[in-house]
Amino acid sequence: MPGTRSSRTLLRQEVVEGIKRYILRERLRPGDPLPAEPALCEALGASRSSVREAIKILDALDIVDVRHGHGTYVGRLSLSALVESLTFRGLLSPGDDFQVLADLVDVRELFERGMAERIVSSLSDEQLDTLDSLVQTMRETGADEGSGFVAADRAFHALLIAPVGNDLIGQLSMAFWDVYTIVAPHLDGFTHADELSTISAHQSLVDAARAEDTTAFLKALEEHYAPVRRRVTEARARDDAAS
Amino acid sequence: MPGTRSSRTLLRQEVVEGIKRYILRERLRPGDPLPAEPALCEALGASRSSVREAIKILDALDIVDVRHGHGTYVGRLSLSALVESLTFRGLLSPGDDFQVLADLVDVRELFERGMAERIVSSLSDEQLDTLDSLVQTMRETGADEGSGFVAADRAFHALLIAPVGNDLIGQLSMAFWDVYTIVAPHLDGFTHADELSTISAHQSLVDAARAEDTTAFLKALEEHYAPVRRRVTEARARDDAAS
DNA sequence: ACAGAGCAGACGTCCGATGTCCCGCTGATA
DNA sequence: TATCAGCGGGACATCGGACGTCTGCTCTGT
């Protein structure tokens, strides 16, 4: 008779742990295939429904990657769940997305400030050249061709934080960048002057890094994030006035 | 006839978006109830299976909170998904959990270093007293009563980062602390001397904060994290030698 | 050899029945 | 009257099976 169990812990949660244990025990790596659903059902003693719900949970955490028609594989363990989660938090906020955005900017700046020394000391010449070319790309693709601009901005910050050799910080940094760009459009205060100052700040960052001048790099960081912070503050004030 | 659809996007994913939209549209807040599963099925035009899988995904992200026997509610939007995800990444790592741990320590230190000034300037007298008492708790509960020690350590760092007024940083900081304590036991190199130096470092942090001496605070931070970093490095070396 | 039809395996979706959990109502008891 | 065991209903949990869709591979024709 179905449904007969009451072990205080949800079956699907046991299945989740079971699948995680399986991956660990078999020393699987991202991309490796997992047994098919029926096999997991038998191995874990659960119906297909429970196994599927467990897999969906693991999929949401990018611990598992399900491909329709192919099978189920070990996931890449990215921080996609963090992005999803924070994005929704930003969208949900009381009516005050602004605090979330301000916090986000704080964290992004914190990462780059905290890594400033390691950044300027470990960027190679080729990497600096690449950064230069990205700034050039931002100059060429105006706000009209927005997608190119934001892509260049993302690549810039990714490359900036990459050479410190801390994957976690790199991925977190990009996750926060992603969340910011998804949530930020709500505040629409990005003028042409802002764009120019942003580009100029990026150029200052590259120049400071090339000169291995940490102080100048920190100054450029402030030059970069101050306008962002100002836009958030202005949007908040505008919203407060409206309500 | 069931299963008839091919809109290139998975139905359960549409349901996920639908539920998110519903929460946003109705301006629901954490703790507010969602419609029952049958109602969601009808509203979103999907079977119960698909709705349930979607709910499990949202539950994994803490966007939704399912309580057996009660109903489904808007979640607290914590960073539990990040903890789950990073923990598993740490456990899975090639055989090199150590890099993950080192990265984790870097990030934790980065947060507190970057917020040093705001921490020392915004801690109230009562908060400083609480920090003192937490250090005292750590002194009294030796490594024998481990749970009290780690609880005090967690509370200490939580209180340290709380007054800066950036919820995101606070929650991230605690998330990383959680992940570290879950993954770290693999390296078991925590001696009595380590414990004493840890306690001493915490006391130095409080003293520096009370004196509003940022320089001393930064020095105490280094005193705190250096042993942690050393243990990770030693464990890595030990592991390399063994293999 | 090469291109298209067909096949097999794996995940996606739907359905209906039954079990378990929790809460609030009810009525017997002290 | 106050209390609490017992009942009922609502909501989620689990099960089993049926059918659809997707993808890659093979087996045909030309």
Q: Is residue B1 part of a domain?
A: no
Question: What pLDDT was estimated at residue A120?
Answer: 96
Q: Are residues B88 and B25 in the same domain?
A: no
pLDDT tens digits for range A131-165: 999 999 999 886 566 678 889 999 999 999 999 99
Question: How far is A21 from A34, CA to CA, in rounded Å?
Answer: 12
Beta carbons of B59 and A62 less than 8 Å apart: no
Question: What pLDDT was estimated at residue B143?
Answer: 57
pLDDT tens digits for range A205-214: 999 999 999 9
Q: Is residue A162 part of a domain?
A: yes
Q: How many CA atoms lie within 13 A of B220 on its CB side?
A: 23
* Phi and psi at residue B32, to the nearest 5°: -70, 145
Question: How far is B49 from B54, CA to CA, in rounded Å?
Answer: 9
Q: Are residues A67 and A161 in the same domain?
A: no
Question: What pLDDT was estimated at residue B82?
Answer: 98
For B203, the domain range is 80-242
Nearest alpha-carbon partner for A43 in A27, A67, A23: A23
pLDDT tens digits for range A92-136: 987 677 888 999 999 999 999 999 999 999 999 999 999 999 999
Q: Which of B53, B88, B114 sits opposite A63 (nearest CB)?
A: B88
Instruction: Provide the shortest C-alpha distance from residue A88 to chain B (in Å).
Output: 8
Residue where the block lists tokens 């969602």: B34
Q: Which nucleotide is nearest to A67 (CA to C1')?
A: C11
Q: Are residues A108 and A221 in the same domain?
A: yes
Angle between helices A97-114 and B167-183 (to 10 degrees): 60
Kindly state the average pLDDT of the residues A53-74. 98
Q: Are residues A188 and A220 in the same domain?
A: yes
Q: Is residue B2 part of a domain?
A: no
Nearest alpha-carbon partner for B97 in B87, B82, B83: B87
Instruction: Give, in Å, how far the C1' of D5 lies from the CA of B70.
Output: 22
Which of A74, A90, A120 is the last residue before a domain boundary? A74
Burial (CB count within 10 angstroms: exposed 0-12, middle 13-18, buried 19+), residue B173: buried
Q: Is residue B99 part of a domain?
A: yes
Q: Are residues A88 and A205 in the same domain?
A: yes
Question: What pLDDT was estimated at residue B189?
Answer: 67
Q: Which residue type is seen at B178?
A: D
Task: Work out the pLDDT band at A232, boundaries 50, 70, 90.
Answer: confident
Which of B52, B74, B96 is the last residue before a domain boundary? B74
CATH assignment at residue B193 = 1.20.120.530
A32 near A25, Cβ under 8 Å?
no
Q: Are residues A93 and A123 in the same domain?
A: yes
Nearest alpha-carbon partner for B127 in B75, B163, B181: B163
Question: What pLDDT was estimated at residue B195?
Answer: 83
B48 at A interface, C-beta within 8 A: no
Structure tokens at B60: 């994994």
Beta carbons of A91 and B12 less than 8 Å apart: no
Q: Are residues B200 and B230 in the same domain?
A: yes
Task: Work out the pLDDT band at A188, boundaries 50, 70, 90.
Answer: low
CATH assignment at residue B49 = 1.10.10.10
Question: What pLDDT was estimated at residue A146?
Answer: 62
Kindly state the average pLDDT of the residues A8-30. 96
The overall longest dimension of chain A from CA atoms, in Å, is 74
- Number of structural domains (chain B) is 2
B113 at A interface, C-beta within 8 A: yes
**Three-state SS for B194?**
helix
Q: Are residues A26 and A144 in the same domain?
A: no
Nucleotides of D under 7 A from a protein CB: 10-24
Instruction: Give, in Å, how far the C1' of C27 lies from the CA of A7.
Output: 33
Q: Are residues B149 and B58 in the same domain?
A: no
Contacts of A102 in chain B (CB under 8 A): 166
Q: Is residue A5 part of a domain?
A: no
Which positions ≥6 away from A27 have C-beta within 8 Å? none
The 10 Å CB-count burial string (b at 16+, else e) for B113-125 is: bbbbebbbeebee
Q: Are residues B102 and B124 in the same domain?
A: yes
A2 Rama sector, left if φ>0, alpha if ψ -120 to 50, beta otherwise: beta
Tell me the pLDDT of chain A averaged across its residues. Answer: 92
Residue A90: pLDDT above 80?
yes
| Residues of chain A above pLDDT 90, percent | 75
Q: Is residue B23 part of a domain?
A: yes
Q: Are residues A84 and A110 in the same domain?
A: yes
Which of B32, B56, B74 is the last residue before a domain boundary? B74
Q: Mean pLDDT, 10 residues at a time, over chain B (243 residues)?
A: 72 98 97 98 98 98 98 98 97 81 95 96 96 94 73 96 95 97 79 85 97 97 93 81 72
Q: Is residue B3 part of a domain?
A: no
Residue A41: pLDDT above 80?
yes
Q: Is residue B226 part of a domain?
A: yes
Which positions ≥6 away from A140 have C-beta within 8 Å? A148
